[in-house]
Amino acid sequence: MYYHNNVSGAVVLAEVMAEHGVKRLVFSSSATVYGDPAQLPIRENFPLSATNPYGQSKLMVEEILRDLFVSDGDWQIALLRYFNPVGAHPSGRIGEDPNDIPNNLMPFVSQVAVGRRAQLSVFGNDYDTHDGTGVRDYIHVVDLADGHLKALEALENAGKGQVLTVNLGTGTGYSVLDM
């Protein structure tokens, strides 16, 4: 499904954009394209080696978009590599309330907070961290939205074709128990 949604969707979108002369694109990629990095913090120029289908599909789209730029230098493309998006809009209208079983930490925390779930299960307590639980670099969704706007501004201000790659994270890790 990742390949259909990410790869096929990106190819079709790029084709339609080109047909209509729209050549500025911000792609929501993922830090999963780095795989298991040898050191932290992760920099944009680190080797790319996705280790799961989701990360591989994001990496494939990045490669397709870079190839698109090589074939037509008028394209302005930003590749935004998200770390771990969390949170909701302050209005409460959009955010961490999935209809099905959550697939990451924050919706579980939110559901416990409002009484929809009785407890939060924490898996793993033997990580080499201050409390033994996994650590991630979480970034709020409103900060991600700001990152998109800044990427668009950077592309517009450049005035020429380019591929801009930016990591979007805080640079600070928080454990499951910290969250």
pLDDT digits (tens, 9 = 90+) for 25-61: 999 999 999 999 989 899 999 999 999 999 999 999 9
Q: What's this model's pTM, rounded to 2 decimal places?
A: 0.90
Each residue's pLDDT tens digit, 86-112: 988 888 787 777 677 777 888 888 888
Domains of the chain: 2-175 (3.40.50.720)
Positions marked active-site = 54
What are the DSSP calls for 2-38, one per residue? HIIIIIIHHHHHHHHHHHTT--EEEEEEEGGGG-S-S
- Name the residue with tokens 């302050």: 90
